[in-house]
Structure 1
Amino acid sequence: MIFVPLSFVAALLLVILLVAALRARETTGGNTAFLVLVALCAVQSVVVGLRWGYHVEAARYVLPILAASLPPLVLLSFRTLLQRDDAGSGAVRWLHALPPLVMIALVLFVPALIDVALIVIFVGYALAVLNLGRSGPDALVEARLDSAVAAHRALVIAAAALCLSALFDLGVLLAFEWSMGANAEIIASNANILGLFFIGLTAFVASRAHPSAPTQPGPPEPSPSEQDREILDRVQRLLVDQKLYRDDNLTLSRLARRVGVPARQISGAVNRLAGKNVSQYINDIRISEACRLLRDTDMSVTAAMLDAGFQTKSNFNREFRRVTALSPASWREQNRPRAAA
């Protein structure tokens, strides 16, 4: 009977996610960095199967290098959803090539330090990823507003997966210290499968938050303004009067350029006056329009969703329930005008 390691199954699922992302790239704007991240997770999962399932010795040298390449790519992928000016210079980005280079040196000369180095790399990058999203979904100004919350949630889960991988690496290290590596194989294989799948899945989710067309840098940020009401009025006029909410590729960065106000000032004005983030604020307007269409027309739920500016049913249904506490179909049934007797 042919033995198929569980990590090969995880790799297959990741490849399916990658193919789905590539097929949907034209409409969802799949980000290249996230697609590379999913591909790397799939490759690493195959190498894990070769190392622990078939005991291929060559894989033991490749696996730490692939593992050290993963956290920098997670960070760089999520940085693509930040303001362009916050993405860092090319010289700084090249510093993220150090972890795999250091790991190559350790594999060749000091293999005893591999597990310790991986723990430091994974925990350090997990904290860096969490720091990217410290301001909530509004920090991801290059994410489509209908997907910003999901992308931020993916960011947090990806950071947690990095920490989980570090925890399992610590378990492997202790297994060798205390029991001569008796349980190391089980710990390492399970850890890699779990961590890689979660990172790949979150990368797939976050890739769909990127707009389909690249955006240009916004204007320089002026001094902070206290005229929150004026800013919010200008945003409201653009969204409602010019129906900008119908742009399913709308991002906070694009909105800021249309309003002529820095993204941080728009986010601050919405937070202070509306008590919510920009994504929720705009989705509230979209849901209001969807409700009007469901109540006053015979338009299908899917058509109303698209006309209101949503691109995916999952986001639409989630936001619709957040605002109305009902599904679109149930809301329509309860709010359609009754025919006169």
Structure 2
Amino acid sequence: MLSVPLPFLAGLAFALTLHDGLKGVDVPGTRRYFHAFLLLYALQGIGVGLRFGYGVDGLSRLLPVTAALMPPLAFLAFRGLAGQRLNRPWLHLAPAAAVAVASTLYRNLVDPLLLVIFFGYGLAIWRMTLSSPGEAGGDVMAEASLPRMRPALRAARLTAGLMLFFAISDAALAVYTSYAGTQDVPFVVTIMNIAAFAAVAVYYFLPQTSRPRVSVQPRAMVPSVADEAVVARVKAALEDGALYRDEGLSLAKLARKAGLPAREVSAAINRATGLNVSQFVNNRRVAEACRLLVEQKSTVTQVMLDAGFSTKSNFNREFRRVMGKTPAQYRAENRAGEESRSRKSRA
């Protein structure tokens, strides 16, 4: 009976997980890189499974070339989310071209080239995720909508981690086969894919096992005059056309509206308020939700949407963070207070 190769399962699991982490993240010019990367990763898993699981040797020259295409695609996609687009992205075809030449003329160079490509791009993506002054994505995923900044950041780190893992493990495998031969390669590839599968599983299930806590309002640093000026401009930008109600609002869009660099906005808000950009914007949305809950008879869901939130879980979590109670409790308490004041006024 035909069995499903493990590399295909690992590739499919990673592709689906990365897609889940990046859903709702739609930046012009980068989405095509993500789609190409995800498709290529899944096809690579099939190819590796057919090559080592079923002995399809005809793929031996193609797989290194397609493997060399994946790191540049991932790098271009995440760089686009950070608002750092390249004018000549086609230059990143050079690694795959070099591997194609090596696989034809001098195959001993293929493994070292792949090691350099995966390790170099993996390190570049990882370093990209570290420059985040205000957490929750900081300015790293500036083009992603605010609720998607953290998932996009984690997706970038997962991608970088797997690239570094495969670079090191492939290098170790190449050294091993040069001394012990290739008879154990299928077993070693299976172990590598089990490790990758486990990493993806941890990434996917760990956030679901943690529960958000209602935290005390963070203490802000002593803000400078410059920070206060930046925060004032950001507040004005949020009010202009009720920008805070835009559920697709991103740090980059907010910074462009305020006429400031995204990194400066993120850092100034963090220093002046102790909040990250997402929390800062959600504070304004919660204030609007409070007004609507008291002044209108709309459902809580409609209030949520009118205030700029897109999911109930995020709305309830942020409302409890700011107000210390649920939206329904807030509405009930305020209506009870209004009725009490009304009875007193009539008496």
| Superposition TM-score, scaled by structure 2 size | 0.74
What is the deviation of 1:270?
1.0
CA RMSD of aligned residues (A): 3.6
Aligned residue type for 1:147 = R
67, 89, 92: which one aligns with 1:96: 92
Residues 262 and 188 (structure 1 numbering): CA distance in 2 closer, same or farther, change over 3 Å?
same
- Secondary structure of the equivalent of 1:2? coil
Counterpart position of 1:306: 305
Q: 1:45-85 CA deviation, whole Å, 9 max, x = no partner?
A: 111121122110011211111111111111001111123xx
Q: What CA distance in whole angstroms lies between the structure 2 residues aligned with 1:261 and 1:171?
A: 47
Decide whether aligned partners of structure 1 residues 123 and 284 sit closer, same or farther in structure 2, where only a CA change above 3 A counts. Answer: farther
Structure 1 unmatched runs, 5+? 203-224
Tell me if structure 2 keeps the 8 A contact 1:172–1:181: no
8 Å Cα contact 2:47-2:63 kept in structure 1: yes
Hey, what's the Cα distance between the residues in 2 that align with 1:150 and 1:32?
Answer: 19
Query: 2: distance between equivalents of 1:59 and 1:267?
Result: 47
Determine the C-alpha separation between the residues in 2 that align with 1:264 and 1:192: 37
- Give the structure 1 partner of residue 161 of structure 2: 160
Q: Is 1:228 the counterpart of 2:227 in the alignment?
A: yes
Partners of 2:264 and 2:20 in 1: CA distance? 36
The residue identity in structure 1 corresponding to 2:161 is A
1:245 is aligned to: 244
Q: Which range moved further: 286-295 or 228-237? A: 286-295
Corresponding position of 1:216: none
Q: Distance in 1 between matches of 2:282 and 2:36?
A: 30
Q: Secondary structure at the match of 1:280?
A: helix
Match of 1:227, SS? Answer: helix
Partner of 1:311, secondary structure, is coil
Contact 2:21-2:155 at 8 Å conserved across structures: no
Please name the residue that 2:177 is paired with. 176
Q: Are 1:162 and 1:195, in contact at CA under 8 Å, matched by a contact in 2?
A: no
Secondary structure of 1:236's match? helix
> Which of 317, 326, 335 is matched with 1:331 structurally?
326
In 2, distance between residues paired with 1:264 and 1:155? 18
Name the counterpart of 1:87.
Answer: 85
1:134 aligns with 2:135: no
Distance 1:302 1:103, change over 3 A: farther
Amino acid at match of 2:148: S
Confirm or deny: 8 A CA contact 1:81 1:141 kept in the other structure: yes
Structure 1 residues 242 and 131 mapped into 2: Cα distance closer, same or farther (>3 Å)? same
Question: Is 1:29 matched with 2:32?
Answer: no
The verdict on how the C-alpha distance between 1:94 and 1:131 changes in structure 2, with shifts beyond 3 A counting, is same
Higher deviation after alignment, 44-53 or 270-279: 270-279
Amino acid at match of 1:184: V
1:123 and 2:119 correspond: yes
- Taking the TM superposition and a 5 Å limit, the aligned residue runs for 1:2-81 are 2-10=2-10, 29=26, 31-81=31-81
Classify the secondary structure of the residue corresponding to 1:80. helix
The residue identity in structure 2 corresponding to 1:146 is P
Residue identity in the other structure for 1:72: P
Compare 176-185 and 57-66 and name the one that shifted more: 176-185
| Residue number in structure 1 paired with 2:276 | 277
Whether contact under 8 Å (1:246, 1:309) holds in the other structure is: yes
Distance in 1, matches of 2:316 and 2:70, equals 33
Cα drift, residue 288 of structure 1: 4.7
Partner of residue 220, structure 2:
none
Aligned to 1:105: 101
Secondary structure of the residue aligned to 1:139 is coil
Larger radius of gyration: 2
| Contact 2:247 2:309 (8 Å CA) reproduced | yes
Q: Give the CA deviation at 1:145.
A: 1.8
Measure the CA separation in 1 of the matches of 2:263 and 2:327.
37
Paired with 1:198 and 1:292, the residues of 2 have a C-alpha distance of 44
* Percent identity (aligned): 37
The change in CA–CA distance for 1:28 and 1:105 in structure 2 (over 3 A counts) is closer
Q: Is the 8 A contact 1:247 1:309 kept in 2?
A: yes
The offset of 1:44, in angstroms, is 0.9
Q: CA deviation at 1:153?
A: 1.8
Query: Is the CA contact 1:133–1:152 (under 8 Å) kept in the aligned structure 2?
Result: yes
Deviation sequence 1:4-32 (CA, Å, 0-9, x none): 2233444555776799899x7xx763722
Give a deviation string over 1:67-126, Cα, whole Å, max 9, x none: 11111111001111123xx32321xx2331111111112211222232222222111111
